[in-house]
Amino acid sequence: MNKTSAMPRTTDRNTWPAAIDPQFLDFINNEVLPLTKVNADSFWSDLNTLLTKFTPRNRELLQVREEMQAKIDTWHRTNEYHVDDLESYKTFLKDIGYLLEEGPDFLIETENVDPEIATIAGPQLVVPVQNARFALNALNARWGSLYDALYGTNVINTPPIPADGSYCEARGAEVIRRGRDFLDEIFPLDNASHHDITHYQVYFQNFCAFTDSGKFVGLIDSSQFAGYSGPCENPSTILLRNNGLHVELQIGRSNEIGASDKAQLADIKIEAAVTTIMDCEDSVAAVDAEDKIGVYRNLLGLMTGELTATFNKGGKQLTRRPRPDRSYIARDGMHQDNWFELPGRSLMFIRNVGHLMDIDIVKDSDGNYSPEGILDGVVTALIGSLDVDRTSGPANSRNGSIYLVKPKMHGPDEVAFTCDLFNDIEDMLGLPRYTIKLGIMDEERRTTLNLKECIRVARHRVVFINTGFLDRTGDEIHTSMQAGAFLPKDQIKSQPWIEAYENRNVDIGLQCGFSGRAQIGKGMWAMPDEMAQMMTEKIAHPESGANTAWVPSPTAATLHAMHYHRVDVLATQEALNSREPASLDDLLRIALIRDGSSLSDKQIERELENNAQGILGYVVRWIDQGIGCSKVPDINNTHLMEDRATLRISSQHIANWLQHGLCSEQQVREVMTRMAGVVDEQNRADPRYRAMTPDTENSIAFQAACALVFEGYRQPNGYTEPLLHDYRRKQKTLCKPHGLAAQ
């Protein structure tokens, strides 16, 4: 954006940043600070001090990344990498400080962690906070309807959902049957089935039910009964609990299901998305002050509870807002005043951006932009402090903590930088030490290899580690770009380093005392329309010892929650403590095409098409519409929930093959052009879509996609942000003079 600098009016303007975007200044001074105890003069002066202190260190850490990568590139050009003899390679990595010696055992010391993170295992959503409607939908996904999730997905194949949208009674009956099956499995009755129940009630502080034969039964495990609402003899809800998660039986004739059900069971509500990452990073397209303020403004509304979104759905105008907490009578409460509440909303993490990018909202005296990650830390913590100081209304953290996730950190020095930054932010905002908790995303190779030491430096703050195949593989390819040609992506998934990566993350988390204190997370299920397959496969995540895993929608969260009822994650973690830790050598086995192996021309062409189509399908929405996360059809027309990580792995993969001569630049350009036509056809029904073909030379989106590939080797750690931001700003600039929508 072309904006003039705004100089804050203060008695000592020299203590403030040299230039502040006027809209950002207005947002902080008039929308955020009045809700806090922080004085505007102090805030801007302290921000300037903080930027002066941490910006040079931020730049130095980025320079270390570049220097290490240059040394690794040189080593691979002059040395032969032997996958079965790693000693010389490991010695080299240790000599340059890339691979560190592991220190003595320790346990994390994080305090005041909310149970949603420390002790409750369940699904986690990741949502672009830039989109208010999506963010509110995720916030409200703490509870989901099992009936709706079963009816509306392919978990049930027959009978099909009617094409005209009318209700199918036979499908509804199958939903009810499966709901009763779930209750029998997780909350079994003593010598009876939920299929046979005609009436649920509370009798002398206990759950009880009557069968169609008139028999009076209770739960086999009476401790699973947690509470209820309504009269004991005819409750409107009954609350059950298993493995720390709640299930609510909704009873009554208020809807068609309850009126026709023999037990008046209208729905089964499942505690689903226990936590949500409100994302300011990979799933958003925020390239300038205008975009960034919108991200911060939505986050402010989420934290105050005042954010709303109005939209049309099914011909009706709807307004979405944060849901209230849910109230129940305690199981041992004989009187109506003995109430307790459960959160009605998912507990929010806030994912900041990494260390790489700068942004124009604050500039120094030389006109240089400020590190976006530093500003994210300050502003998201400032907004989070509203929750810490809350005196009324539903809180995000009931333990007075602010949860920030920091992605794309490379090794313990960068984690230490983040912890030091958080120390100064706490001092700046008058927060007690370690109020800000840290989520460490294990998605960079140097962090994976040194994860224990990364956790060590954050042991007073860390509440979260997780794995992510796409970014982690993108960094794997870029780091070892000169080692040789990588296998096709599907084959990379089956290589030893992937299993070692996933297992080692859990092993180290457990060794460092995460069980009962912090989250160990696993990655996204990327196919939101393939819920039947998810239900078969994603149970592997809680079985792996992870107490959370990412899902692409509230519906997926509801279904995935069933896995956490079937798997006691805390017990699983206890059992895993005794296994042999995953091999470091396996982590260092680069997934290269081995000597004597080769790919056919057809295999190479197909892999290029797959990568190119994935890049183009995502980039065209990012550049032209400012959409950072959406369902993108792949080459087989399977819709995948994609964010920026898909670009990193796909662009680095093609760049690697170009580097080692498996394909030519001309071949890749031909594939890119052909796949642009495929993507255009896939998006033909979108009225906002701008076709890339036939005039690809004048399509900024197409040129951006090509740049990601052909300049991929030169991009820092293979990141896509620098190029995406440049091309998106070009698109916004072109649209503005013509009055066109750029998003």
Q: What is the pLDDT of residues 693-739, one digit of tens each?
A: 999 999 999 999 999 999 999 999 999 999 999 999 999 998 875 44
More confident residue, 735 or 246: 246
pLDDT for the residue numbered 594: 86
- Confidence category of residue 14, pLDDT binned at 50, 70, 90: confident
pLDDT cut 70: percent of the chain above it: 97
Q: Where do runs of H (alpha helix) occur along 357-495? A: 372-388, 411-429, 445-449, 451-457, 469-479, 489-492
Q: What is the pLDDT of residues 362-390, one digit of tens each?
A: 999 899 999 999 999 999 999 999 999 88
**Catalytic residue, candidates 65, 297, 351, 517:** 351
pLDDT cut 90: percent of the chain above it: 90
- Confidence category of residue 4, pLDDT binned at 50, 70, 90: very low
Res. 523: pLDDT tops 70: yes
pLDDT for the residue numbered 313: 85
* Average of per-residue pLDDT across 545-549: 98
Q: Cis peptide leading into 162, omega within 30 of 0?
A: no
Q: How far apart are CA 532 and CA 354, in angstroms?
A: 35
Q: How far apart are CA 394 and CA 684, in angstroms?
A: 44
Active site annotation includes 351: yes
Q: What is the pLDDT of residues 587-631, one digit of tens each?
A: 999 999 987 678 999 999 999 999 999 999 999 999 999 999 989
Res. 504: pLDDT tops 70: yes
The DSSP bridge partners found for residue 441 are 466
* Amino acid identity, position 61: L
Q: What is the pLDDT of residues 118-149, one digit of tens each?
A: 999 999 999 999 999 999 999 999 999 999 99
Number of residues written out for the chain: 743
Q: What is the pLDDT of residues 30-88, one digit of tens each?
A: 999 999 999 999 999 999 999 999 999 999 999 999 999 999 999 999 999 988 889 99
Active site annotation includes 643: yes
pLDDT for the residue numbered 737: 54
pLDDT for the residue numbered 482: 97
Count Cα atoms within 13 angstroms, Cβ side, for 22. 6
Q: How far apart are CA 76 and CA 68, in angstroms?
A: 12
**Catalytic residue, candidates 261, 624, 643, 680:** 643
pLDDT for the residue numbered 303: 97
Q: In Å, what is the CA distance from 638 to each residue of 174, 528, 641? A: 26, 10, 10
Structural domains in the chain, CATH included, are 145-271 (2.170.170.11), 601-738 (1.20.1220.12)
**Phi, psi angles (nearest 5°) of residue 702:** -65, -40
243: left (phi over 0), alpha (psi -120 to 50) or beta: left
Mean of per-residue pLDDT scores for the chain: 94
Q: Is the pTM of this model over 0.85?
A: yes
Res. 254: pLDDT tops 90: no
Q: Which of 1, 49, 44, 42 is nearest to 23 (CA)?
A: 1
Res. 3: pLDDT tops 50: no
Helix (H) or strand (E) holding 665: helix 665-682
Q: Say how many C-beta atoms besides its own lie within 10 A of residue 513's C-beta.
A: 17
Res. 472: pLDDT tops 80: yes
Contact 442, 469 (CB under 8 A): no
